[in-house]
Each structure stands twice: as C-alpha cells, then as structure tokens.
Structure 1
Amino acid sequence: MNKLNPYFNDKDCKISEKDISDYVIQRFEDVKSSNKFKNMLAFHTANKFMIMAHDQVELKKLGNIVASHRKIPFSELLQEYENHLKLAMDKKPTVRTHSNVIMHIFGYFLKHLDQNEKRTFLNNLDQFREGKKTIGQILLEISPITYRCDDTYLASQTYFLLYSDIEHRSIFQPTNIKEDE
C-alpha cells in the first residue's frame, strides 16, 4: 500500500492525486475559455463524484453556485466556482470519502441488482475499507454494471476515468460458450 494514499497500491495507480487535481482544474480552464454556462454545467455534472471524493461540503457550495447562474454575472460565477473548486481539489480523498462516493454510485443501480450482486458489492466495499482492495479495483468491478444499466450519467463521470484500474480491464472477456466441433 502507498503510505500517502492508503487506498491505492503503487502498482495500481499510475497517476498521483496531484495529477488528478491538475487534470480537473485544467478541464475547468477549458470551461472558462469557452465562456459558456452550458459547458460549466456539463463540467459540474461530469465531475460530481470526483469533487465529492475530495470535499463534500465544497461540492454542495459548487452546486449552489451553479444553481445561482441567473442571479450573478457569469464572470463572477466562474471566479467563485473556480475558487471553491480549487479548495475542494486541494483536499485529499480518504477511504471514508471514497466509500461515500461508492455508496452514492451504488444507489444509482441498486434496483437493477439481485440480492447476490448487492451482497457481493457490499462485501467488495468492506474489502476496500479494510485495505484489501483498491478504489481502482472496486470501480473496475462497478464499471460493467453502469453499462448494463445503461447509465450514461455514471459512465461519463471523471471519477471512473481517473480512478478505475484500467490496466486490468480487457475488452475480450472469456465466455463459457463452447463452439460446435
């Protein structure tokens, strides 16, 4: 386990928390350059779980800023959003904050899972909390469920992009189907 990031194994994480924060901040720079509210809204939507993993209080403030878009000039809105985004991304995620995000994600497809799948999911989350699994491994297991449930909102989250353990993902999964001889 990595002492700086106890929820990651060094071999499983090729990017640092600083890289992740820098990536998110740079994407916001793209939003600022576009100077369009729809891009700001899309950014906020795609980064909800990422920001939640870093700072749930700041996420709520950012949501309120986006909701107030008709009340203040857009340039002020961008500046205020950027200030709170940087505060959020400066805070390091913990096992607890990642667990909270995973439980929120679980809520999106809870109704699509049978009892055994729910039990397996919660067991995997417990293993993450105990340090036996990484966040990347958990997200790797969740990712197919988001596609099975056709949840484009979850699939578009930068949280999956930046934390999933994609090194171990294969598009060619073995099947149990035997060809006729």
Structure 2
Amino acid sequence: MIYVGVSACLLGQKVRYDGGHKASDFCQHELGRHVEYLPLCPEVGVGLSVPRPTIRLIGDVENPRAVVQKTGEDLTSRLEQFANVRSEQLATLSGYVLCAKSPSCGMERVRVYEEDSNANVKQGMGIFAKRLQEMFPAMPMEEDGRLNDPLLRENFVLRLYVYAEWKQLTENMTKGILYTFHARHKLLLLAHNQAVYRELGRELGELDDVTQAFLDYYILRLMTALSKPASRKDHTNVLQHVQGYFKQHIDSSSRVELADLILRYHHGEEPLAAPLTLMSHYLKRFPDPYLESQSYFHPYPDDLRLRYGL
C-alpha cells in the first residue's frame, strides 16, 4: 500500500479556520482508489479550535512567523513541532498533498505580511509545509490547486509511484538492487532530464560502495530531476529512441504508422497515450526484456488516465 499525507480539509473534513473544507475530487475519488491517506490539519493538531481566528505569516519572507491576527500569538514553533513529533509517522509517506495558500500548509505563493501592516507579498511557504520539506527533501509534495493542471497532476502521481517503489527497496538496498532500480527508470529519467540521466549513469558506473550518503544523494537527485514535467520535445526524443527497438520486427507500413503517430504527438495533434498504446501493442507481439522493465510505459495505474491530457 502507498501512504500519502494530505491536508485534512482536502478530504472534506471541516477543519478550516472558517469551519469549512476544500474537498478535492481528485484526492477523494481518483487517487484515493490507489492510496491510503494520512489526513492532518496542523492548526487543529496544535490545539486551535474550529472555527478559529485567522493566522498570518509575518516578517521575513524566508523565515516568517505564523501569528494569530487578533491576539498576536506566535504559533511558529508549535506548527514546526507538529511535524517533528510525528516524524516517524511522516517517514512512512511516499507523498503529500497540501492545501494551497494556507499559512501552515501552503507550498508556495503564501502571503507574507509586513509587521503591523496589510502590505504583503505572495512569496511565502507554510510553516508546516516548510518543515516537512526540510525533513523529507526527496518526498513528492504538491498543492491541491496545482493538481487541476493535467501536466502537474501527472507529474506528481508519477513521482509518487517512483518514490514509493524506492521506499520499499531501501531497507535491503544493495548495489545490484540500486542498479536494477535505476535501469527500470532510465527512460523516465531521460524524458525529464537528459543531463541528470547521463550524470547519474556515470556516477553509478563508478560506484564502489553503496553508502547511506550516496543513497540520500541519489534519490534527491532523481526526484528533483523528475519534478520538472517532461515536454513534448523530450517525450518525442524517448519515443523515437524506443521506435528503434521495433524497426527490425515490424513491416514498413507499420514503421511509417508509428513514426507518423509520434510526429502527430510532437505537434500536439495526439495525446502521449496514443503512441504509447501502439508501442505497448508491438511490445506484446515482439517482447523485449529491457523495454518490458521500463516504468516509462506504465508509471502508475492505467485507470487514472493521466496521459490522455498530455
């Protein structure tokens, strides 16, 4: 089972400052079919009521304080501690979906106010979200609002499944297991970051011992590379690379059909799912152990249909 943290309000729990919620259809009814959630509300978790006075981020953008607007009570350390005391529970997670704009959970563009003023800039990060990122820098994190973007939604779920697979392996990691994991995700990495694809491949080739320091470095580098959604140009490069595996097996008309479909995807006339579906068909007819091992073709459950919007 894949465990995912989520702001409790996104699952319909009425824990927001105004007594309401921000239920996410995707979290509840789509992703929720495949994961088990850990719903948390840091503000309720530190003892605040529902409803409750508004909290603001105040001061320095990089290190703001979370302050109750009416009373001036500083909640910063309590919100940070909320993450600290749950570190073992949070360590079981493979990803986290956060509530946008929240002074505790917002991942980006949270308002930070000047002292004793309504002047503000949208450049902050929620106190709990920031501490969570500090504790687990490689863990995929995303905001509910950004998940409405098909490209960002697909990218988050892709990273979630790669990270979940990694977490299942780390307790018994050996050089051989690490190499197999990396090989399985090579095409995926190639689609997202060619430079890191080359660099990690070289570093693994030169690796003598699998140390914890290298494992921490490796997974952070991999997840950071995957965090940038792949472009049509990048996907086209991978698709044309894979196309070469089938040239000796399919006839000339089929080669033309596949090449044309890849170009139509490249020009935005077809979704990514179109050439991948045809390649999966050829792969069943002409099995190839390397391609069959690649997560690129099925990085997450097909019924999420995330690549039909790309």
TM-score bucket (shorter structure): 0.7 to 0.9
Greater share of helix: 1
Matched, 1:160 2:297: yes
Matched, 1:23 2:142: no
Q: Cα deviation per residue 1:40-72 (whole Å; 9 max; x = unaligned)?
A: 1111111111111111111111111221221x5
Matched, 1:148 2:272: no
Equivalent AA in structure 2 for residue 160 of structure 1? F
Distance across 1 between alignment mates of 2:304 and 2:250 = 26
**Would you say the 8 A contact 2:186–2:294 is kept in 1?**
yes
Select the structure of larger CA radius of gyration. 2
**What SS does the corresponding residue of 1:158 show, helix, strand or coil?**
coil
Q: How big is the shift at 1:126?
A: 1.2
Q: What pairs with 1:17-166 in structure 2 (closer than 5 Å)?
A: 17-70=155-208, 72-162=209-299
Distance across 1 between alignment mates of 2:262 and 2:272 = 9
Q: How big is the shift at 1:153?
A: 1.3
Equivalent AA in structure 2 for residue 16 of structure 1? E
Number of positions where the alignment pairs a residue of Structure 1 with one of Structure 2 = 158
Q: Which residue in the other structure is 2:68 paired with? A: none
Q: Cα deviation per residue 1:6-56 (whole Å; 9 max; x = unaligned)?
A: 7xxxxxxxx621011121122222232222222111111111111111111
**What SS does the corresponding residue of 2:299 show, helix, strand or coil?**
helix
Equivalent AA in structure 1 for residue 173 of structure 2? N
Deviates more, 1:118-127 or 1:23-32: 23-32
**What SS does the corresponding residue of 2:296 show, helix, strand or coil?**
helix
TM-score, normalised on structure 2? 0.47
**Would you say the 8 A contact 2:159–2:227 is kept in 1?**
yes
Structure 2 alignment gaps of length 5 or more: 1-147, 306-310
Structure 1 alignment gaps of length 5 or more: 7-14, 169-181
Q: How big is the shift at 1:166?
A: 6.4
**Would you say the 8 A contact 1:54–1:88 is kept in 2?**
yes
Identity rate of aligned residues, in percent? Answer: 24
TM-score, normalised on structure 1? 0.77
- In structure 2, relative to structure 1, the CA distance for the partners of 1:55 and 1:159 (3 Å cut) is same
Equivalent AA in structure 2 for residue 117 of structure 1? S
**Would you say the 8 A contact 1:21–1:89 is kept in 2?**
yes
Deviates more, 1:156-165 or 1:58-67: 156-165
Equivalent AA in structure 1 for residue 234 of structure 2? T
Instruction: Name which structure has the greater RCO, CA cutoff 8 Å, separation 6+.
Output: 1
Distance across 1 between alignment mates of 2:174 and 2:184 = 16
